[in-house]
Structure 1
Amino acid sequence: MSTTRALLVGRRRGRAVGLVVGFAGVVALALVAAFVAESAGATAAAALTDRLLPLLVFYAPGPLAAAGAYARCGGPACLTVGVVPAVVLGGFVLLGTVVGVPGVNGGNPALGDVTVSFAAIGQTSAFVGYCAGVTAVLVVDVLGFGGDGGDETDGGEGDADEE
């Protein structure tokens, strides 16, 4: 499989799924921890989650998408990382509204705007990170170090750890 195809479509599906699902799990865990800390009134935990949530929502998609591109997880997986925080937030609010958790108000019209804003910011960050990762892969290939898994030597069939 050529480098271009590996970067665009992806070569390692297991790693790509792990990237997206793992990031979704971390965001969900941080969101639940923030909610529980806020509900319990724990100021130390609330202060930690107040710093952790913006890091995960706004800053993490870019570097994760870059790492995913460098690992040849493919464009779809890398760009999906950008919308993960918005989807997790929307799911959390929807679930909390359906179950009737106090403090979770799904009827707030501004919530949809916040979710769309999170998705737009995360998608932009993931796109920039993906472009940076692709650039890094191409620079490493041009300079001749790093290794692409032997695409040219095995007739384009990919490497041994392909899933």
Structure 2
Amino acid sequence: MSTTRALLVGRHRGRAVGLVVAFAAVVALALVAAFVAESVGATAATALTDRLLPLLVFYAPGPLAAAGAYARCGGPACLTVGAVPAVVFGGFVLVGTLVGVPGVNGSDPGLGDVAMSFAAIGVTSAFVGYCAGVTAVLAVDVLGFGGGGTKMEGDEGSPDEE
């Protein structure tokens, strides 16, 4: 598989799915922990809502997408990382509304705007990170450091390749 195809489509499907699912799990865990801490009035709520959640929602998708591009997970997986915070937030609001969790009101029109803002910022950050990762891969290939897109002996029939 050529380097270009590996960067665009992805070479390692398992790694790509793992990247997206692990990030979704971390965001969901942080969101639930922040909500629970805020509900009980814990002092940790301030640290979670003021520091950790913005870090995960706004800043993490870029470096994760860059790492995913460098690991040749493919563009779709890297850009999906940017949409993860919005999807997790929307799912949290939907489940909270259906279950009847106090303090979670899905009928609030501002929540849709918040989710769309999370998606716009996250996907933009992931795109920039993906571009940085692709640039790093191409620079490494040009300089001759990495394995690039060449097939190594014994690479045939890898379960992650198509």
Q: Distance in 2 between matches of 1:63 and 1:160?
A: 30
- TM-score, normalisation: structure 1: 0.93
Q: Distance in 1 between matches of 2:30 and 2:73?
A: 25
Q: What is residue 92 of structure 2 aligned with on the other side?
A: 92
Mapped pair 1:131 → 2:131: yes
Runs of at least 5 residues in structure 2 that lack an aligned partner in the other structure = none
SS in 2 for 1:96: helix
User: Where in structure 2 are the equivalents of 1:140-151 lying within 5 Å?
Assistant: 140-148=140-148, 150-151=150-151
Cα displacement (A) at 1:146:
1.9
Q: What is residue 122 of structure 1 aligned with on the other side?
A: 122
CA, structure 1 residues 75+12, in 2 after alignment: closer, same or farther (shift >3 Å)? same
Give the aligned length.
Answer: 159
Kindly report structure 1 stretches of 4+ aligned residues shifted beyond 6 Å. none
Q: What is residue 47 of structure 1 aligned with on the other side?
A: 46
SS in 2 for 1:148: coil
User: Where in structure 2 are the equivalents of 1:9-158 lying within 5 Å?
Assistant: 9-43=9-43, 45-50=44-49, 51-148=51-148, 150-151=150-151
Amino acid paired to 1:68: G
Is the CA contact 1:93–1:106 (under 8 Å) kept in the aligned structure 2?
Answer: yes
Is the CA contact 2:2–2:150 (under 8 Å) kept in the aligned structure 1?
Answer: no
Is the CA contact 2:10–2:74 (under 8 Å) kept in the aligned structure 1?
Answer: yes
Q: Distance in 1 between matches of 2:86 and 2:98?
A: 18
CA, structure 1 residues 144+134, in 2 after alignment: closer, same or farther (shift >3 Å)? same
Q: Distance in 1 between matches of 2:159 and 2:78?
A: 18
Is the CA contact 1:149–1:159 (under 8 Å) kept in the aligned structure 2?
Answer: no
Q: What is residue 4 of structure 1 aligned with on the other side?
A: 4
Is the CA contact 2:3–2:149 (under 8 Å) kept in the aligned structure 1?
Answer: no
- TM-score, normalisation: structure 2: 0.93
Q: Distance in 1 between matches of 2:133 and 2:46?
A: 32
Cα displacement (A) at 1:9:
0.2
SS in 2 for 1:67: helix
CA, structure 1 residues 76+107, in 2 after alignment: closer, same or farther (shift >3 Å)? same
Cα displacement (A) at 1:149:
6.4
Is the CA contact 1:79–1:130 (under 8 Å) kept in the aligned structure 2?
Answer: yes
Could you give the per-residue CA deviations for residues 11-57 of structure 1, whole angstroms, max 9, x where no partner exists?
Answer: 000000000000000000000000000001101x1122021000000
Amino acid paired to 2:47: L
Is the CA contact 1:58–1:122 (under 8 Å) kept in the aligned structure 2?
Answer: yes
Cα displacement (A) at 1:161:
5.6
